[in-house]
């Protein structure tokens, strides 16, 4: 299975990346091919709401997001990983998720893979953002895609680069979720 791993953190060596890499290891050890994207380094236009996709046409933008969208429409699976910024996913991740509209809204396209979700944050505990994360799982994923949910992982108490190295329980869980793809 082809899996796209989207990292919404601007910190390449940050906590989200550390947890994400562990999940990727699980996927790869289970025979899957994973491609990781650092969204912050990519040129991805936000959805313009032009609705051209509703007419069965490709998105008007031809940018780095196109490669991700095309692979998802061809059946790739997905890991989305983001730090919590002011209670929500980062703008980098939200920007590509809005571009998922070009699949959801296109009568000739659909998702068909699986999805796992990672959120990291500084606030202590692993359930403080559960209401927000439950909403993300509901929409966009359950309501606007056909992606089958593998699992989601909330990792609290990580703030500075390197903190996730000490989050042994979360690292183990991330690996185990990777094995479930």
Ligand X SMILES: Cc1cc2nc3c(=O)[nH]c(=O)nc-3n(C[C@H](O)[C@H](O)[C@H](O)COP(=O)(O)O)c2cc1C
- In whole angstroms, how far apart are CA 139 and each of 22, 35, 45, 101, 164? 26, 24, 21, 12, 27
User: Rounded to the nearest whole angstrom, what is the least distance from the CB of residue 122 to ligand X in the complex?
Assistant: 4
Q: Which of 4, 5, 14, 23 forms a contact with ligand X (CB under 6 A)? A: 14
Residue 67, judged by CB atoms within 10 A of its CB (0-12, 13-18, 19+), counts as middle
SS3 73: helix
Interaction between residue 109 and ligand X (CB under 6 A): no
Residue closer to ligand X by CB (options 83, 113) is: 83
Range 110-149, binding ligand X (CB under 6 A): 120-123
Centroid of chain to Cα 169: 21
Residue closer to ligand X by CB (options 8, 113) is: 8
| Neighbour tally for 28: CB within 10 Å | 14
Interaction between residue 83 and ligand X (CB under 6 A): yes
Scanning the structure block, which residue is given the tokens 């991740």? 93
Interaction between residue 9 and ligand X (CB under 6 A): yes
Distance CA(83)–CA(93), nearest Å, equals: 10
Range 144-173, binding ligand X (CB under 6 A): 158-159, 161
Residue closer to ligand X by CB (options 5, 158) is: 158
Residues at the interface with ligand X (CB under 6 A)? 9, 11, 14-17, 83-87, 120-123, 158-159, 161
């Amino acid at each position: 299975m082809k899996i796209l791993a989207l990292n919404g953190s601007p910190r390449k060596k940050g906590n989200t990346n550390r947890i994400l890499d562990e999940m990727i290891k699980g996927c790869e050890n289970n025979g899957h091919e994973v491609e990781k994207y650092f969204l912050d380094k990519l040129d991805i236009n936000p959805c313009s709401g032009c609705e051209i996709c509703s007419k069965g046409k490709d998105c008007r933008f031809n940018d780095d997001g196109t490669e991700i969208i095309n692979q998802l429409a061809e059946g790739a699976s997905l890991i989305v990983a983001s730090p919590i910024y002011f209670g929500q996913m980062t703008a980098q991740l939200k920007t590509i998720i809005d571009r998922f509209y070009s699949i959801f809204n296109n009568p000739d396209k659909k998702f068909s893979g699986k999805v796992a979700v990672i959120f990291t944050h500084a606030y202590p505990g692993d359930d403080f953002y559960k209401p927000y994360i439950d909403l993300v799982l509901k929409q966009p994923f359950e309501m606007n895609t056909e992606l089958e949910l593998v699992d989601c992982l909330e990792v609290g108490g990580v703030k500075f680069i390197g903190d996730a190295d000490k989050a042994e329980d979360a690292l183990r869980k991330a690996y185990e979720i990777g094995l479930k793809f």
